[in-house]
Structure 1
Amino acid sequence: MQFIDIKAIHAHSAAQIDAAVAQVFEHGRYINGPEVYELEATLGKFLGDSKPLHCIAVASGTMALEVALRALSIGPGDEVITTPFTWISTAETIALVGATPVFADIEPDTYNIDPKEVEKVITPKTKAIIPVDLFGQLPDYTALETIAEKHGLKIIEDAAQSFGAEQNARKAGTFGHVATTSFFPAKPLGGYGDGGAVFTADDQLAEDLRAVTNHGCKERESHYILGTNGRCDSLQAAIIQAKFANFRDAEIALRQKVGARYSEALKDYVTVPKIHPGNTHIYAQYTIRPKNRDSLGEALKAADIPSAVYYRKPLHQQEVFSHLPCAKKSFPHTEQAAQEVISLPFHPYLSEADQARIIATVVKAV
């Protein structure tokens, strides 16, 4: 049994992927090939419906965050608020552009950043908030957008784990001034290497985002903004484009079906994911909270069932951020979640038989 069965996901789009990759080999435009622009148009339309969003494909989800920060001119002397309960990319990109990460604690039930905690740490240096749509569902953007408007802050939505989810009929990737996502293979819409995208409805910001990915220039050797090499290559774009139709038409619903089966069967034994009112969940990870994580992990291992812990060590406890003033603070909900959560095998094609075996093992263990 695989924790995420990427081979099973591939099998459902294999013919389309083979044809798309062969086309790239045929034309030989491995950078900025037509597949990149096709993917950008497809994803922009998916998110924007009647008015497509600007989409800029980039080299990774991490690069997407860095590009967004640079395009918003965030740098030395600025502070950006984010969650300590996430993968390090969200905070490290803040530091990489010269700004200071500031952490705000999470809600204990959704594991997403708590808007009330965000407002407590805003200072005159605060320029932006980066909420993370953790594990596959969105935080309370109504509250976060109200806070951002009140204090004149930008919101960068980190939708690396939530592409395909919604909040009040708005799709992940459409919140804030700019949104980012990742196509890392384990993500809901995963490529076969690194890749990501940035989204915005702002025409000028879109122009700046694209320039940042191309060494800060719109015309060759004319650089008006500090940029980087952030481009998405044609092969990855071709693969993601080839997978997208099945993701949109089948896998979003299948992921929700598998998640619902887990929750119904396990709700009386462990704390299952709480879905915030108005949200749908895409389950980048199916994360539960048992009374004893270690004993459950051992029982799963003994049954040859893989599991994983996201995230065992919060960002404020990481050595690289030990110099930050907020690193000396306690974030009790984050710290408790880090000690208690565990994620079960999950992918859209998880069979009912395999899922039943996982569920039976969990129930017996707890």
Structure 2
Amino acid sequence: MLSTIAKIPCLDLKKQYAQIKDEVLKVTEEVFESNAFSGGPYVDAFEQHFADYCGTQYAMGVNNGTTALQLAMLALGVGPGDEVIIPANTFIATAWGASHVGATPVFVDCDPDTWEIDPAQIECRITERTKVIAGVHLYGQPFDVQAVKAIADRFGLKMIEDAAQAHGARYNGTRVGGFGEMACFSFYPGKNLGAYGEAGGMTTNDKAYYDHVRSLRNHGCQVRYYHDEVGYNMRMDGLQGAILDIKLRYLDAWNGRRQEIAKAYQQGITNPAVKMQKQPEWAESVYHLFVVTVENRDDFMTYLNENNVFPGLHYPVPCHLQKAYHNLSYHRGDFPHSEYLADHCLSLPMFAELTDEEVQHVINVINKY
């Protein structure tokens, strides 16, 4: 073992909570005293502040990020018989958005260097049934929005942003969330902006989409007890809205620290066995994850664990090879870049509360591998 430093996990939420504990407990009592449990003023305030933060006209809180994707598809008119272009290299929830409305996810490979959706692979997958292209700002780094949007516009398609991992990330200097028809966010506890429970949201500049999603999340009604369509109970709860509103004030500082840690990794890790995600000049990542690849992942992970570094694994099976989609008849070899990443990637410790000593320990351990 290289040192006696304590175990360094991939993520530690307790350290973040310690910073804001007093604020969280105070607002929790306020929510309880006001009985604002489902939607209500705390969710309304967070929605307004999050829209302002993302630079969009509207933001909408829902019960989780997967719901946001599903409701976005419904608002876009996607349904049975339709197809949605989705990167094979993403968390499976991106595909659920299409599947939950009866549409078919059509997967495309990722770029071999940025690991984001490869615009060059999209056009050949478009058919007369394609309705939407879903780009993912994966690991906190924006995909090539302009390239994907140009394809969508040329074919008369809609584009949504899966921004579940990219709260505050910028593309060409502009925060993500307003480039497509809608953007979908997860506020799962481990995200850069995470709730203390399940929560999600969407942003848009289109009032019609906003109104439709707002109705769908609340039993399909604009006026209580008058239901315009079959809807869902998918509201954000008041406690999560209140907590997210507190955390939003800290988000830029937390993201800034993640960027400092990423820069230290990028400059300090010199082991040629370790490959990192390429950072195009137009992408400002917020490093939800810091993913690397190595040829012998199991050996590397064992070595890291022996030296008190405990990485994560995102994601070991690409979407097209998941059992849930066996009926789509994809096979290994269809998307080699996504498959290579799934077989060789791991996520280094990345959270704002990592100390300089811990970051340097991770670097030293990796360089001695």
TM-score, normalising length: structure 1: 0.96
Question: What's the secondary structure of 1:358's corresponding residue?
Answer: helix
Instruction: Say yes or no: does 1:58 pair with 2:65.
Output: no
Q: CA RMSD in A?
A: 1.3
- Cα deviation digits, residues 31-71 of structure 1 (max 9, x gap): 122100000000011112xxx42101000011110111111
The one-letter code of the counterpart of 1:211 is S
CA distance in 2, matches of 1:216, 1:61: 19
Instruction: Say yes or no: does 1:34 pair with 2:41.
Output: yes
Give the match for residue 255 of structure 1. 258
CA distance in 2, matches of 1:55, 1:124: 31
Give the match for residue 285 of structure 2. 281
- Cα deviation digits, residues 177-216 of structure 1 (max 9, x gap): 0001011011111111111111100011110010111111
Are the equivalent residues in 2 in contact too, given 1:308–1:344 (CA < 8 A)? yes
How far residue 268 of structure 1 moved from its aligned partner, in angstroms, is 4.5
How far residue 304 of structure 1 moved from its aligned partner, in angstroms, is 2.4
Which of the numbers 336, 340, 361 marks the counterpart of 1:336?
340
The one-letter code of the counterpart of 1:153 is L
Q: 1:67-216, aligned counterparts within 5 Å?
A: 67-216=71-220
- Cα deviation digits, residues 206-228 of structure 1 (max 9, x gap): 10010111111111232223321
Paired residues in the alignment total 361
The one-letter code of the counterpart of 2:157 is L
Give the match for residue 302 of structure 1. 306
The one-letter code of the counterpart of 1:114 is D
- Cα deviation digits, residues 83-132 of structure 1 (max 9, x gap): 11111111122111100010010001111100111111000000001111
Are the equivalent residues in 1 in contact too, given 2:51–2:59 (CA < 8 A)? yes
Question: What's the secondary structure of 2:190's corresponding residue?
Answer: coil
CA distance in 1, matches of 2:91, 2:295: 24
Give the match for residue 22 of structure 2. 15
Give the match for residue 352 of structure 1. 356
Are the equivalent residues in 1 in contact too, given 2:137–2:163 (CA < 8 A)? yes
The one-letter code of the counterpart of 2:264 is R
Give the match for residue 54 of structure 2. 47
CA distance in 1, matches of 2:44, 2:28: 15
CA distance in 1, matches of 2:352, 2:123: 37
- Cα deviation digits, residues 226-274 of structure 1 (max 9, x gap): 32111000001111111111113x1121111111111111145321221
Question: What's the secondary structure of 2:284's corresponding residue?
Answer: coil
> Which range moved further: 344-353 or 299-308?
299-308
Question: What's the secondary structure of 1:338's corresponding residue?
Answer: helix
How far residue 313 of structure 1 moved from its aligned partner, in angstroms, is 0.7
The one-letter code of the counterpart of 2:143 is P
The one-letter code of the counterpart of 1:124 is E
CA distance in 1, matches of 2:317, 2:178: 30
How far residue 325 of structure 1 moved from its aligned partner, in angstroms, is 4.3
CA distance in 2, matches of 1:2, 1:191: 20
Identity among equivalent positions (%) equals: 35
Where structure 1 has 5 or more consecutive residues not aligned to the other structure, the ranges are none
Which of the numbers 257, 281, 291 marks the counterpart of 2:295?
291
Question: What's the secondary structure of 2:250's corresponding residue?
Answer: helix
CA distance in 1, matches of 2:339, 2:161: 23
Where structure 2 has 5 or more consecutive residues not aligned to the other structure, the ranges are 1-7
Are the equivalent residues in 2 in contact too, given 1:32–1:234 (CA < 8 A)? yes
Which of the numbers 4, 14, 17 marks the counterpart of 2:11?
4
CA distance in 1, matches of 2:173, 2:357: 33
